[in-house]
Structure 1
């Protein structure tokens, strides 16, 4: 079925759609958030990019070369097998039933032993059918490439879900054309709802903070008790960081359980630590707001406050038992250059970030980077507090976001 002129107005030339969405870091509140305390999360200037290209061969293809996923389905087969997912109002965003999830697991290419990779495949199929099935299914080729490492606690799966939701909603004309003003609030909310369903399929019971940061960008305050509350910060300064991936594997489930055991064993000690982390996150939010509007002369004083908060939180996380020798090594190494670091995410390995002062010279960053790589770690200099999901209008726009060349190298369109 040919795409109508009205629908094409929501897409690029020849119907090709390009979108991107950022990863995230937790500034403060890891683990304490489980107990109803405040967490602050911010977008990361490392992004996932998706190109959605229509095809006329009656096939649907998903390619994620970063995780070695390349799967093609026959459109007619999907339509027959999952007819119960089709024909719904795209704004009526509901999770799949248990029966539908079990049926999705029979789709070609899914293998339970693939873990998150397999669930990403299922999330694609579900969102593709549920969103585009609100019109009429068409063949397509979805290519996803990312600047984000997978499995490092940086929100790579959320960025994937956000890109997928945004591209499919744009394909069916459910979100507005991206002009200079960008997406509307209602557009972003709709993208976020569908992206959360993708995250639920991939992770089971996510908090919603990862996809929310990826959609809206900037920084968010998050609490899950007495009810889930996600509040964007009005102002967020762009902060330079060195992001360091130890590549040390860890189990989030085991780390969370370890904190619970400590709390049960030493409630009079651990409860005050959790309360202190809550106050620390609240204080950081106030400093960030002040920093976003402060005069240049006040920036260094506020940066020093952020550094103190980073140091305190790292110590609190060590008390909770979720640090790791690799993370302590990062903190020690960067402190030798006058910089301050903490783990981000579950801990036990994974990633840490280092705040970079405005007056830090390139030679210092290069020296730290070299030491990190000697340890077998990966390091990137990037920024916090960047924009959320973007529907790109041109190749120049993609290049501005430093998109990998693969995302447009074999496309038949570069611009709207």
Structure 2
């Protein structure tokens, strides 16, 4: 990517690049896309192809829409080097943040989505996206009259979820959360039907259900990671108990948010202690 950007926009000055990440690799969480987006933004800024948006006294800043589009296009090229034929979803989310709808190759940002609290759990079960996708295709070819309605239903779930998410910021009613929880449950059952479930993910859902929480797989399935929706009024004791039981299964678990901003330039003063420690060792 550095050579390609230099060839198009002029020499990139001599730089040292330190990569630090909280995302586990190979778990279906888009760590490669996050890397590609950050690298593209850094190199394009360094060679002057895009501006440095950070003004004096600011702790964070983001680029213009036009500049974000350029960052995304180069990040996608980086994803192609890593994955061969990526969808472009992961780098788009990493660039713009929030939530996106992906259908038939078209990526559409969702408007005004809320920030949702989740538990993110890594089952540590390795899986191959290529193998899982091939298995789904095989089922569709073998049982088209059965599988196509299931896929139509999954699409309807996604559309219903989009409607709920876009309605929440204007009317932050707690009544939306039971709807999202039910959609999580229905979606997870459908994903098992098409063959991308795994006993470890079933266990994850059982453990969180015992604490009154609702979960589903994320990414390609077949192991990897799952997400658990946390209502605003979910008690800290319930969250800690669920995390404890998930870790007892050998899983890794983090509490985080969905709907955060995309790629952002930070001043050194805004970085947390862990990142500063990593930088100081370079």
TM-score, normalising length from structure 2? 0.94
Cα contact 1:238–1:385 (8 A) shared by 2 = yes
Residue 48 (structure 2) aligned to one of 162, 170, 173: 173
Q: What is the distance in 1 between the residues matched to 2:36 and 2:83?
A: 11
The partner residue of 2:258 within 384, 388, 391 is: 384
Aligned pair partner of 1:149 in 10, 13, 24: 24
Match of 2:37 among 162, 166, 169: 162
Of 259, 271, 276, the residue aligned with 2:148 is 271
| 1:200 aligned partner | 80
* Distance in 2 between residues matched to 1:397 and 1:138, nearest whole Å: 25
Describe the SS at the equivalent of 2:216.
strand
- CA-CA distance at 1:284 after TM superposition: 0.4
State the partner residue of 1:396: 269
Q: CA deviation at 1:193?
A: 0.6
1:352 aligns with 2:232: no
Q: Please list, as runs of the form range in 1=range in 2, the aligned pairs for 1:325-364 lying within 5 A after superposition.
A: 325-364=199-238
Deviations 1:143-168 (A, max 9, x none): 10100000000000000000100000
* Contact 2:27 2:122 (8 Å CA) reproduced: yes
Asked if 2 retains the 8 angstrom alpha-carbon contact of 1:144 and 1:407, the reply is: no
**Deviates further, 331-340 or 172-181:** 172-181
Aligned-partner Cα distance in 1 for 2:121–2:237: 17
CA distance in 1: counterparts of 2:22 and 2:33, whole angstroms: 13
Q: Give the structure 1 partner of residue 165 of structure 2.
A: 288
Give aligned pairs, total. 276
Q: Which residue of 2 aligns with 1:245?
A: 122
Moved more, 343-352 or 365-374: 365-374
Q: 1:309 aligns with which of 183, 208, 213?
A: 183
Distance 2:71 2:249 in 1: 40
- The alpha-carbon deviation at position 248 of structure 1 amounts to 0.4
The change in CA–CA distance for 1:220 and 1:311 in structure 2 (over 3 A counts) is: same
1:78 matched residue in structure 2? none
The structure in which a higher percent of residues are strand is 1
Structure 1, gaps ≥5 residues long:
1-126, 412-416
Match of 1:405 in 2: 276
Mapped contact 2:114–2:168 kept (Cα < 8 A): yes
Question: Shift in Å at residue 410 of structure 1?
Answer: 4.7
Q: Distance in 1 between matches of 2:274 and 2:39?
A: 16
Query: Do the aligned partners of 1:196 and 1:211 also contact (CA within 8 Å) in 2?
Result: yes
Number of the residue aligned with 1:101: none
The 5 A counterparts of 1:179-190 are: 179=54, 182-190=62-70
RMSD after superposition: 1.5
| SS of match in other structure, 1:381 | strand
Question: Retained in 1: the 8 A contact 2:12–2:46?
Answer: no
Could you say which residue in structure 2 is the equivalent of 1:222? 102
Conservation of the 8 A alpha-carbon contact between 2:117 and 2:255 = yes
Structure 2 residue runs of 5 or longer lacking an equivalent are none
Task: State the alpha-carbon separation in 2 of the partners of residues 403 and 353 from structure 1.
Answer: 25
- Return the index of the structure with the highest Cα Rg: 1
Q: What's the TM-score once normalised by structure 1's chain length?
A: 0.64
Q: Assess if the C-alpha contact under 8 Å between 2:12 and 2:43 holds in 1.
A: no
User: Do the aligned partners of 2:12 and 2:47 also contact (CA within 8 Å) in 1?
Assistant: no
C-alpha distance in 1, partners of 2:176/2:239? 21
